[in-house]
Amino acid sequence: MLGHFPNQRVVLATVRSCAFALLAMAALPVCAEDVPPAPAPPPDPDPISVSAGMALEWREEGFDVTLLRTRVKIEQGNFTASGESAIIWKDAAGRVLLYLEGDARVRGGPARGNSGLIRRDGSGGLELDVASRNPIEQSVAVEDPLYQRALARLKSEIGQSSDEPGRAAVTLVDPMPIAELPAPDPNSELGALRRVRIFPRSAVPYDVLSYESTKTIPSEQIIVLTGGVNLVIDGVQLGETDLVDLSADRIVIWTRTPGGGSEFQAESVQSRDTPFTVYLEGNIVIRQGGRVMRAKKAVYDARQEKALLDDAEIRTFMPDLGAELRVRADRLRQITKSRFKAENAWLSTSKFGKPGYRLQAKEIFLEPRYDVPWLGLGDTVVDPRTGQTTTETPWFRSYDNKFMVHDVPIFYSPKLSGPATDPGIPLKTLSVGFDQIFGARVQTAWDVFSVLGQERPPNVELNVLADYYGKRGPATGFSGRAARVDPLGIPGYSTTNFLGYYVNDGGEDTLGGGLRGSIPIETQNRGRLLYRHQHQFPDGFGKVDHSRMLFEVGVESDRNFLEQYYQTEFRSDKNTENYLYFSQAVENWAWSGLGFVPVNDFDPATGWYPRFDTYGLSEPLFDGRLTWSQHTQAGYGDINPGDLPDPNVYGAGYANSFTPLPYLSDVEGGVFMTRHELAAPLSFGALNVVPFVMGDALFQQQGLTGDDITRFTISPGLRASIQAKKLYRNVHSRLFNVNGLMHKARLEAEYRYTDTTQPLGEIAQYNDLDDDAQEITRMNFGRRPDQFDPRLYGIRTGVGLPVTSPVYELVEDQEVIRLALRQRLQTKRGPPGNLRIQDWMTLDLEASLFPDAMRDNFGEELGLVGFDYRWHVGDRTTLFANGTTEFFENASKTYAAGFELSRGRRGTFTSYFQHIDAGGDPLNMLILSYQYELSPKWLTNASFIVDIQNPENRAQVAQLTRVGADFLYHFTFQNDVATNNVGGGFMIEPRFGPRAANPGLAGLFGLGR
């Protein structure tokens, strides 16, 4: 190959410079160890006679070039030279330059050598006597390894000359077999070696027949091996490993040995360009790195790294799948070391001989695809085309495709293309079920690229949703995600998620009991759109440490659609919003910009047009004696308090159950806030004391009542903490797995006095307190006593006082002492010699004291009392209890106690009792839940809620999953007393793709998308 020469022009220039330089020399000395130089005859006009087994000829910028192989012999008068192969250059003046290789000999010169250079006068003509003589394209000929070695030898001889013109020149190198001679560059392809080793396949030795064939040009050694053979070839450089392992009942090898002959060797070394072809028959197994191929008949060419297999199967382990990818074909071709073509084939991950599902195609191509690494994921390799570091992804292309379930075709596509970890199965999920709210339902998700037969862009998913609800109507939509590096040339990486869904709804919503049990819908055309994009800039971008940009667009058709159709998302995910956000950070300083546009009029939200924030944390002053922190915000806000339901649409009963939130009003205007804190950290041994003072200034162009408001706040205080520990070395218990105990206790205290110039009732709440689900629930509950006002609760807990608090409005005159005691009992557990420290018991206690109880805590000096206890009895068993309580009238009280049993990856069981007293009728409930893997084929999940106060079942959900070799089958049952909803469902997923590779408990339970 052209390992030493960048392109063809360079090769030709090298030919001209080397050949002319040598032909113009008067003489070249003979270089052979301990052998005198051959006498150089005078110029001989006799013709040069050349004989060989094969000749290739081409024209090369003023030279006639001939490549000779197999028993080359050159004669001119009394001069005779011979070798295994040769290159001849002849110019227009008749000057000839010969390169001999392989047992090179010159009569009267050195006895023999590996290669030699000879200059002769060819003006008398050049006569060729060869068995096979063919012209060849120059561009192909110059890539021949023999030609490359001749050029390398020419370059090494340019500097040699002689003082006696007209003498022939002969240069021979040390005698060595060609196969053992290292190339000029051992790292180049020319310098690669191949080692061949032959072993019996079992304890029974194989039979050998080895002979030299003279029917081919050049002659070959043929080796026939029977009785079970294992052939190992290394040095073929197959990426992660350079080893090829071939096993078969019978093997025939065609190769060449140095100097010819038929002697059999169980272990030999060859140059990589030496022909080596293997025919295999009977119980064939070929292993290449992570690939395993099986066939009845096969031919393997080690020099070109190609193979042809009949009635074959290839298996490749896919880490992303956690399983093997199987391709079965009538004929399998290995085109290159990493590219394959399968004819009349099917593809599957099933382990069955005949899979229950498969992708059947006329042709399937498997090949690597090189992509830019995303988030550091994937196996990093070097793209052979560009030399750049990329991620290698196994890729497939297939034509005339049928997706088969058993022998029934259910889908056809003329072409499919995508990652081999998700090879074009169009149906992603199928869910069938029934319940009281939606009736009979069918939900499906289809891969767009598979349906259209288009090649999937890297790191892109796009699905079409096609559903039907018996009591509601048909539905359709799309969902997907994408990830890109440097999108549109912008440095960094980005992730995108998008969703669109439409329902032609002809039913009613059921969100709970009572007035929420049968709610008319606002429009029959219901749905949503959501687009979320995040771009993370690389560190150092714009000379900052961290930069990111967030963008979201979302809209819903009506107030109840999300809660009805996407209940889990409504309760636990972030709000659907419309905003553009950008932030940058440099060490302990940061700034951000936000533009926010409310779209859904029924959701309470604040529009920002725009808003800017700056932060600085713990900036040292006076050599660290003081630290300064600050947060400054400026923007234009517009509060949307949220429209109430229309009685003409939703009915008077449901609509009248909603009341506006008292701290939200329809106001807008400029908002400016700046907050600063100075702290002086002091240390006295184990005691840490931090005096501090916080002050802020707030301006709202329109406050809660619509008037402009200016508020100033001053809040000095003192934080202190002390830690103590004691070691009990002699405490041991085999029952509780205790090996010594360390008791650690940390006492924390904070005193803070806060004074403001404006009462909380004048301040508009421009920053959201809660997400939409909580705010809509509060609107639905109607007016509640002040004890349950979330803003007053936030003031008592001090959530609005930290420098970086996002709800800085929650500040009021207050004096408070906060106390906390955090304790740990730690022990060592684990195998001998590898013990690790673990918490055995933890107990956290908290409480707050309010000296001005009437103003700050509804008349009670003690409040916000809470505890959290955990006892890790063992690595798999935990007892826990927690609770909070208040002491004023109608105060809320909650506590819970229970246990959790863990059995590692097989599952968990949790049971606990919970008491909730919110000033009315208390709730006492028993909650049971478990997730457990009964066996590798059966998974279960269930949860139960039982009301003990008024004995009845509140809700039950159970799911059973059957893990099949080809499919995952999910069976569900649910009963929700609050919505009077009883139903069940069935879901089937093909075990194709990363999500189905390891059907553990996480991700299998639940039918939500």
Q: Are residues 575 and 674 in the same domain?
A: no
Q: What is the rounded distance in angstroms from the CA atom of residue 519 to the CA atom of residue 781?
A: 17
Domain of residue 70 covers: 48-156
Q: Is residue 70 part of a domain?
A: yes
pLDDT at 830 (0 to 100): 84
Q: What is the rounded distance in angstroms from the CA atom of residue 827 to the CA atom of residue 839?
A: 6
Q: Are residues 824 and 683 in the same domain?
A: yes
Q: What is the rounded distance in angstroms from the CA atom of residue 843 to the CA atom of residue 826?
A: 12
pLDDT at 639 (0 to 100): 95
Extract the tokens encoding 843.
Answer: 């107990």
Q: Which of 65-79, 633-647, 787-801, 804-818 has the lowest mean pLDDT?
A: 65-79
**pTM for this prediction:** 0.67
Q: Are residues 555 and 662 in the same domain?
A: no
Confidence band, pLDDT 50/70/90 cuts, at residue 236: very low
pLDDT at 422 (0 to 100): 63
Nearest to 719 by CA among 766, 682, 754, 667: 682
Q: Are residues 240 and 363 in the same domain?
A: no
Extract the tokens encoding 734.
Answer: 């085999």
Our CA angle for 623, 626, 676, nearest 5°, is 135
Instruction: Flag whether pLDDT at 810 surpasses 70.
Output: yes
Q: Which of 503-517, 548-562, 749-763, 855-869 has the lowest mean pLDDT?
A: 503-517
The residues with which 741 forms a beta bridge, in sequence order, are 728
Cα dist from 411 to 269, 358, 432, 450, 454, whole Å: 52, 11, 19, 10, 15
Q: What is the rounded distance in angstroms from the CA atom of residue 969 to the CA atom of residue 420?
A: 23
Nearest to 12 by CA among 79, 46, 58: 58
Strand-by-strand arrangement of the 113-121 sheet = 126-135, 48-60, 63-76, 79-90, 95-106, 113-121, 169-172
Q: Are residues 291 and 318 in the same domain?
A: no
Instruction: Flag whether pLDDT at 769 surpasses 50.
Output: yes
Name which residue leads in pLDDT, 693 or 19: 693
If one counts the domains in the chain, the total is: 5
Instruction: Flag whether pLDDT at 1007 surpasses 70.
Output: no
Q: Is residue 860 part of a domain?
A: no
pLDDT more than 90, % of the chain: 42
Query: Is residue 970 helix, strand or coil?
Result: strand
Q: What is the rounded distance in angstroms from the CA atom of residue 276 to the CA atom of residue 304?
A: 9
Confidence band, pLDDT 50/70/90 cuts, at residue 161: very low
pLDDT at 992 (0 to 100): 54
Burial code (b: 16+ CB inside 10 Å, e: under 16) for 905-923 equals eebeebebebbebeeeeeb
Domain end: 793, 821, 844, which one? Answer: 844
Domain end: 108, 127, 156, which one? Answer: 156
Q: Are residues 123 and 54 in the same domain?
A: yes
520 cis-preceded (ω within 30 degrees of 0): no
Contact yes or no for 146/85 (Cβ under 8 A): yes
Q: Among 154-158, 335-339, 388-392, 704-708, which range has the highest average pLDDT?
A: 704-708
Beta strands in 29-147 (DSSP E): 48-60, 63-76, 79-90, 95-106, 113-121, 126-135
Report the pLDDT averaged over residues 740-753. Answer: 96
Instruction: Flag whether pLDDT at 592 surpasses 90.
Output: yes
End-to-end CA distance of the chain: 54
Contact yes or no for 902/908 (Cβ under 8 A): yes
Contact yes or no for 1004/989 (Cβ under 8 A): no
Q: What is the rounded distance in angstroms from the CA atom of residue 20 to the CA atom of residue 279?
A: 46
Backbone phi, psi, residue 978, to 5°: -60, -35
Query: In this structure, which amino acid lies at residue 738?
Result: V
The residues with which 287 forms a beta bridge, in sequence order, are 245, 292
Element (H, E) at 21: helix 8-23
Contact yes or no for 313/291 (Cβ under 8 A): no
Q: Is residue 916 part of a domain?
A: no
pLDDT at 359 (0 to 100): 81
Element (H, E) at 652: helix 652-656
Cα dist from 624 to 114, 679, 720, whole Å: 78, 10, 18
The distance between the two most distant Cα atoms of the chain, rounded to a whole number of Å, is 127
pLDDT at 494 (0 to 100): 92
Domain end: 797, 829, 844, which one? Answer: 844
Nearest to 742 by CA among 649, 839, 646, 835: 839
Contact yes or no for 30/157 (Cβ under 8 A): no
Extract the tokens encoding 237.
Answer: 């450089």
pLDDT at 140 (0 to 100): 65
Q: Which of 411-425, 639-653, 740-754, 814-828 has the lowest mean pLDDT?
A: 411-425
pLDDT at 390 (0 to 100): 54
Q: Are strands 113-121 and 79-90 parallel, antiparallel or unpaired?
A: unpaired
Report the pLDDT averaged over residues 205-225. Answer: 85
Q: Is residue 123 part of a domain?
A: yes
pLDDT at 157 (0 to 100): 66
Q: Among 190-199, 447-456, 621-630, 965-974, which range has the highest average pLDDT?
A: 621-630
Instruction: Flag whether pLDDT at 782 surpasses 90.
Output: no
Contact yes or no for 837/822 (Cβ under 8 A): no
- Each as own residue / partner, the long-range contacts of residues 200-208 (CB below 8 Å, 24 or more positions apart, any chain) are 200/227, 200/228, 200/229, 200/230, 201/228, 201/229, 201/230, 201/247, 201/248, 201/249, 202/228, 204/228, 208/264
Report the pLDDT averaged over residues 757-762. Answer: 94
Instruction: Flag whether pLDDT at 783 surpasses 80.
Output: no
Q: Are residues 658 and 534 in the same domain?
A: no
User: What DSSP letter does each residue of 198-239 carry, written as one string?
Assistant: EEESSSSPPEEEEEEE-SSSS-EEEEEEEEEEEEEEE-S--S
Q: Are residues 752 and 800 in the same domain?
A: yes
Q: What crossing angle do the helices spanning 145-157 and 8-23 adopt, rounded to 10°? A: 50
Confidence band, pLDDT 50/70/90 cuts, at residue 178: very low
CATH of the domain at 341: 2.60.450
Confidence band, pLDDT 50/70/90 cuts, at residue 539: confident
Q: Is residue 598 part of a domain?
A: no
Extract the tokens encoding 648.
Answer: 């003409």
Q: Is residue 734 part of a domain?
A: yes
Q: Is residue 185 part of a domain?
A: no
Express each pLDDT in 920-978 by its tens digit. Answer: 778 899 999 989 988 888 999 999 999 888 877 888 899 999 887 667 888 888 888 87
Environment class of residue 182 by beta-carbon count within 10 Å: exposed (0-12), middle (13-18) or buried (19+)? exposed
Q: Give 3-state DSSP helix, strand, coil % of the chain, rounded to 5.
A: 10, 55, 35
Report the pLDDT averaged over residues 253-267. Answer: 75
Q: Are residues 329 and 407 in the same domain?
A: yes
Instruction: Flag whether pLDDT at 715 surpasses 90.
Output: yes
Express each pLDDT in 188-203 by its tens digit. Answer: 333 467 888 899 998 8
Count of C-beta atoms within a 10 Å radius of residue 685: 6
**Average pLDDT score, the chain:** 82
Q: Are residues 296 and 317 in the same domain?
A: no
218 cis-preceded (ω within 30 degrees of 0): yes
Report the pLDDT averaged over residues 981-1002. Answer: 59
Instruction: Flag whether pLDDT at 256 surpasses 60.
Output: yes
Q: Is residue 63 part of a domain?
A: yes
Count of C-beta atoms within a 10 Å radius of residue 267: 10
Nearest to 873 by CA among 731, 732, 736, 728: 736
Q: What is the rounded distance in angstroms from the CA atom of residue 895 to the CA atom of residue 917?
A: 9
Q: Are residues 685 and 798 in the same domain?
A: yes
Environment class of residue 782 by beta-carbon count within 10 Å: exposed (0-12), middle (13-18) or buried (19+)? exposed
Region of 891 please: left (phi>0), alpha (psi -120 to 50) or beta. Answer: beta
Nearest to 10 by CA among 136, 113, 151, 137: 151
Q: Are residues 693 and 575 in the same domain?
A: no
Nearest to 297 by CA among 326, 332, 327: 332
Instruction: Flag whether pLDDT at 795 surpasses 90.
Output: yes
Q: What is the rounded distance in angstroms from the CA atom of residue 713 to the CA atom of residue 101?
A: 95
Residue reference for tokens 């066996």: 935
Element (H, E) at 1008: none
Give, as one character, the DSSP assignment of residue 776: H
Query: Is residue 156 helix, strand or coil?
Result: helix
Element (H, E) at 830: none
Confidence band, pLDDT 50/70/90 cuts, at residue 279: very high
Query: Is residue 811 helix, strand or coil?
Result: coil
Name which residue leads in pLDDT, 6 or 569: 569
Report the pLDDT averaged over residues 901-930. Answer: 88
Positive or negative torsion for Cα 776, 779, 781, 786 = positive
Confidence band, pLDDT 50/70/90 cuts, at residue 111: very low
